[in-house]
Amino acid sequence: MRAALGFASLGCALVLSTPALAAETVLDLSGNVPDDQLRHFFVEFDVPAGIKEIEIAHDDLSPDNILDWGLVDEMGGFRGWGGGNTENAVVGEQAASRSYLPGPIAAGKWKVVVGKALVKVKPASFSLKVTLRDVPTLPAQTNRVPYSAPAPLSTETRWYAGDFHVHSMESGDAEPPLDAIAAFAKGRGLDFVLVSDHNTVSQLDFYAEAQKKHSDFLFLPGVEFTTYWGHANAIGSTKYVDDKTELPGNSIGAAVQAFQAQGALFSINHPTLALGDACLGCAWEHDLPVDQIDAVEIGTGKFGILTDSAIGFWDDLCAKGRHLAALGGSDDHKAGVNETPTQSPIGNPTTMVYAKALSVQGIIDAVKSGRTVVKLKSPDDPMVELASSVAPSGDTIAAPKSELSATITGGVGYTARFVKNGAPEPEVEVDSDPFVLKLPVTAPASGEDRYRVEVLEGGARRTVTSHLWLKLGAAGDGGVGGSAGGGGSGPGAADESDDGGCGCAAPRSSPFAWAALALGALGALALRRSRS
């Protein structure tokens, strides 16, 4: 049925001579944007045998309308997603422009994918010209190598510092190469980043080269799954998953299953970042069973004004019984160069992960077990290590009673508090380094209680741990279970059969209109084509 979906009305013109004789053939596929409820449509074109390179020039022909662009081959295979890229897309057998994948160019019907990111003025039209060449113009990119996970960079069990939301030049709205990302991140004391480019895996082709140059710094594979109803990171994903969730046969649930079948974790990004046209589709609006979610980005870049609402979103999901790790990400697009007022450098926020190794699987396993601490402002924020007297590490404590202990370093002058089931306990002044905050706890008669620790500066959160969960169990049990949501400071075993999942739908984000108006006014022009 997909082939029947609203193809644009086309006025095709063949320029130059016939494909059999010409070195270059230009197809004018300009047309009108279908006025329907679907957010994507396709423009078909025929590729004859012998073509070595395809170039696509596109334009949304309007200062008010915004269209996104991508390409699929004759088999429906993904060949790239430039999103709001304004430059031409070029795909050849041995090279491709940013956001796109090189590879065989087989004869058949290819399709330009067009996303209706924002259509304010109707009727809407577009300019689209496809150039077919039998001789490529791009030199072969010998530095592109199929992705494979590197060997562990360190096998030491400890806290590793990272940023789970960084964009490279393979995102249409970003600029930095991987080398610049690593150099800047290492300068801030980070051990890893997740390069979360928008709906493409083209960045993975360049990981091997960058990883070799930065042998002490880990590039995590992944993607920012960017839809018009919310964004999420697929942490560890190495294969493209269709983001056109509204089309027949597609759904957000099926997309998440496809990511998790790869061994990836699904983490919702900036869930309450509702800025309207200034950040298209940035707030989370999908209805997704909470047991398909693995983590939540509770802090995003400079949008600290929305941190409280993001933490509230996370708390609401955790209250349904799902053990979700807390993550933070800068959403950096510049690697520290010419940052705009709405942008944040790599490391702001920083996520600390207690992992058995600095490796792809080591970081994924640690996040899955919830052993994370988010420094919401910068790598220099106070550190918190949360543990229990019954189970000094891990996720779920099975015991009638326990004493929770939080060791805080670098926190003199701040205040700290425990938070039980989303409700804060009284704040305590941190007056020594290290400082130990303790809380005796009793297990509930049924279900689980969850506890985290927050460090505050002037009433604003600066550091937030993931949760420790307490449920009734035999004295001295010390059992640890749950698929995510720890915050403990050691390895601890996890019982995957007790993941606390439920079939509830994730709550929709609150509009927070006052914040959206303020931030939208500041960033509307700069973020016109931002996907965040």
Q: Output the six-digit token pair for 395.
A: 């996720």
pLDDT (tens digit per residue) in 312-341 = 999 999 999 999 999 999 999 999 888 778
d(CA 183, CA 220): 15
The phi and psi torsions of 361 (rounded to 5 degrees) equal -70, -35
pLDDT (tens digit per residue) in 205-235 = 999 999 999 999 999 999 999 999 999 999 9
SS3 content of the chain, % helix, strand, coil (to 5): 15, 35, 50
pLDDT (tens digit per residue) in 66-75 = 999 999 999 9
d(CA 372, CA 145): 32
d(CA 83, CA 70): 7
| Spatial CA neighbour of 480 closest among 385, 400, 399 | 399
What is the signed CA dihedral for 343, 349, 355, 357, rounded to 10 degrees? 40
Starting at the edge strand found earlier in the chain, the sheet holding 383-388 runs 383-388, 401-409, 435-442
pLDDT (tens digit per residue) in 38-55 = 999 999 999 999 999 999
Non-local (6+) Cβ contacts of 511 within 8 A are 274, 283
Token pair 């994370």: residue:
372
d(CA 300, CA 72): 32
Peptide bond into 392 cis (omega under 30): no
Q: Which pLDDT belongs to residue 141?
A: 98
CA distances 185 to 66, 140, 297, 356, 505, Å, are 32, 30, 19, 21, 36
Confidence band for 503, pLDDT divided at 50, 70 and 90: very low
d(CA 461, CA 158): 24
Q: Is residue 1 pLDDT above 50, yes or no? A: no
CA distances 232 to 281, 287, 304, Å, are 11, 13, 18
Non-local (6+) Cβ contacts of 154 within 8 A are 216, 357, 358
Residue environment code for 125-143, b if the CB has 16+ CB neighbours within 10 A, otherwise e: bbebbbbbbbebebeeeee
**CB 408 within 8 Å of CB 416:** yes
> Quick one: average pLDDT of 182-195?
98
d(CA 278, CA 486): 35
Output the pTM of the full model. 0.88
- Domains of the chain by range and CATH? 2-133 (2.60.120.380), 160-369+494-532 (3.20.20.140), 381-490 (2.60.40.10)
pLDDT (tens digit per residue) in 462-491 = 999 999 999 998 644 333 333 333 445 443
Peptide bond into 349 cis (omega under 30): yes
**CB 167 within 8 Å of CB 196:** yes
Give the three-class secondary structure for 513: helix
| Spatial CA neighbour of 363 closest among 268, 290, 463, 263 | 263
Token pair 């807390």: residue:
326
d(CA 393, CA 251): 37
Q: Is residue 307 pLDDT above 50, yes or no? A: yes
With a pLDDT cut of 70, the percent of the chain lying above it is 84
pLDDT (tens digit per residue) in 405-423 = 999 999 999 999 999 999 9
The phi and psi torsions of 2 (rounded to 5 degrees) equal -65, -35
The phi and psi torsions of 161 (rounded to 5 degrees) equal -100, 135
In Å, how far from its chain's centre is CA 39?
Answer: 21
Confidence band for 157, pLDDT divided at 50, 70 and 90: very high
Q: Which pLDDT belongs to residue 426?
A: 98
**CB 393 within 8 Å of CB 490:** yes
In Å, how far from its chain's centre is CA 502?
Answer: 23
Non-local (6+) Cβ contacts of 81 within 8 A are 68, 69, 70, 71, 99, 113, 198, 199, 200, 243
Q: Which residues pair with 230 in a beta bridge?
A: 227
d(CA 153, CA 150): 8
Q: What is the mean pLDDT of the chain?
A: 88
- Count CB atoms within 10 A of the CB of residue 372: 29
pLDDT (tens digit per residue) in 79-109 = 999 999 999 999 999 999 999 999 999 999 9
Kind and range of the H or E run holding 388:
strand 383-388
